Chain A
């Protein structure tokens, strides 16, 4: 699971109002290089909740992202920033671990890189 996906997931338990971001418990993180695509990064940038993204990247041991979200114009010219954004968003994979609901503490396990967001009957 990439941090792109972490940034798009919320706790789906019935009654939870503040389900984002899910806390990360990472047991195994792997890096897989993929070709950078500037168009994708520019298109997805406005959808990224920056603080959750930066915090998540630091939990995975990557501390190169700026605390504050840059102006979108930075994505037009700053290739160094684009490289870091790309790396944190798409190249870090949580293979084993869990996502934790910030409100209830319920754990959603991640196995073989796949988060399990299935709910129990009393959570739907």
Chain B
């Protein structure tokens, strides 16, 4: 069943919506690599922050849906075109997520506090001039300000607030974002972390990091990033097939 996410089709697009790129694929591969753990985790509510085209939340719903039908999905994006494209992507694949056009989780923070078992986020991580952050449209998908950290640093405390006691966060980062410092900051909030996927492309080196609350966490900062796990063979097998989406979105420059 994990291969179903490889069949995600681009059914809708918009010039102002970020199409799936290497970062999106890395995040889905990380979720696939951790799929067995996710199934055992039996989450109730999963949320994606910044759903863009809907590729990631649709993949997540497909890879978990059959075996854990008790999960409900929520996805947000600050870009109104993105949530509409996500809706079409979800519908085309017969899955559902509740969509909200909002900034990160604004409007949900009070009532959803401590309620999310999984958050996935491919944040705008590209280092840019500060004044590019918060612009409307597709720039919101990448513009990350200084060190690409402006939006990431807003997301982390919100994720901490929204995650349940057993909540997990999966986040894409770039080397320029200083991921080990992000892990340290999350450690101060009581989270352990590990790299689920590490991938270098021509342009960037990506890490997908998983964070979880560790109630026994020691103030020993040495093993913040504990392991860099090796991808199971079946995930690597899937990679060529993911190119299907790329070939279907010919004007994509990623």
Contacts and interface: CB of A to CB of B under 8 A. Distances in A.
B108 A9 contact: yes
B108 A37 contact: no
Nearest to A22: B107
Contact of B70 (A1, A39, A113, A114): A39
Contacts of B122: none
A114 B72 contact: no
Interface residues of B, number: 27
B201 interface: no
B87 interface: yes
Contacts, number: 82
A5 B74 contact: yes
Interface stretch (B97-105, B180-188, B203-211): B97-105
Interface string B86-126: 01000000001011111100111111100100000000000
A5 B100 contact: yes
B71 interface: yes
Contact of A44 (B44, B80, B83, B108): B44
B248 to A, nearest CB: 23
A112 B100 CA distance: 11
Contacts of B78: 118
A44 B69 CA distance: 14
B61 to A, nearest CB: 13
A47 B45 CA distance: 11
Contacts of A84: none
A9 B96 contact: no
Nearest to B84: A112
Leading 7 A-B pairs by shortest Cβ distance: A117-B102, A117-B107, A40-B70, A39-B70, A43-B44, A12-B107, A116-B101
